[in-house]
Amino acid sequence: MALGLETLDVARIHERALASLEASSSRDGIIKRAELFFAEAITPIEKTHRAALKANVHLNQLAETLGRRTVELAASGRHLKRGIVQRKAAEEALEKSGKHRANLLEQSRLMQEHLRHLTHQILLAQEDKRTQMSHQLHDDIGQTLLGINVRLLTLEKEATVNAKGLKKEIACTQRLVEKSKKTLSRFADELGKHHDT
């Protein structure tokens, strides 16, 4: 952790160390001790992944708040549009009064600028949300694929030693693949919802 290593980095170092140990003549218990060492080495890294998941929950809460605010801004935009229509009707009725008409025109212009500004803010907020979701999807899938890769490395080593352990690792790897599919589906749904608003 202090060196900034990720699980895959530790897995590569571990694999190289195992390869050099396999070349030596004393192999008694090396693989079992290597498994224990690897599990202990990646535990702190996996704990940081849990913290990232908590941060992800917080990010989702912020995204919901942003979604509500976007809806409020859209309602305000519709209200402003109705206001502009009402102002234009008033302009036609008061066309004979030049000063009053000029005042109404200025107010209408300011409201239109405000509406354009609100629309721009809504579009920026939606784009930011899509970007955040894209980064989040990239991080989630990257972590899951990393976990699958580590599992596959373990399966490769375990295949020659422990058939029962191999079945367990295969089942665990299949769960990681299912988790990736669900994550992709959830993000696709989220992106669809935000694209429609």
Domain boundaries, the chain: 7-196
Instruction: Please report where in the chains the tokens 């955040």 appear, as a residue.
Output: 132
Q: What separation, in Å, do the N-terminal and C-terminal C-alpha atoms of the chain show?
A: 42
Higher-pLDDT residue of 90 and 30 is: 90
pLDDT of residue 25: 52
Would you say 105 and 155 are in contact if contact means Cβ atoms under 8 Å apart?
A: no
User: Whole-angstrom Cα distance, residue 188 to residue 156?
Assistant: 33
Would you say 52 and 76 are in contact if contact means Cβ atoms under 8 Å apart?
A: no
Asked if the model's pLDDT at residue 6 lies above 80, the reply is: no
Averaged pLDDT, 150-176? 75
pLDDT of residue 116: 92
Higher-pLDDT residue of 91 and 194 is: 91
Query: How many of the other CB atoms lie within 10 Å of CB of 77?
Result: 17
Asked if the model's pLDDT at residue 95 lies above 60, the reply is: yes
Higher-pLDDT residue of 71 and 139 is: 71
Percent of the chain with pLDDT over 90: 7
Helices and strands, number each (H, E), in the chain: 4, 0
Asked if the model's pLDDT at residue 165 lies above 80, the reply is: no
pLDDT of residue 186: 79
pLDDT of residue 113: 92
Asked if the model's pLDDT at residue 128 lies above 80, the reply is: yes
pLDDT of residue 174: 81
Task: Residue count of the chain, please give it.
Answer: 197
User: Whole-angstrom Cα distance, residue 115 to residue 117?
Assistant: 5
Asked if the model's pLDDT at residue 197 lies above 60, the reply is: no
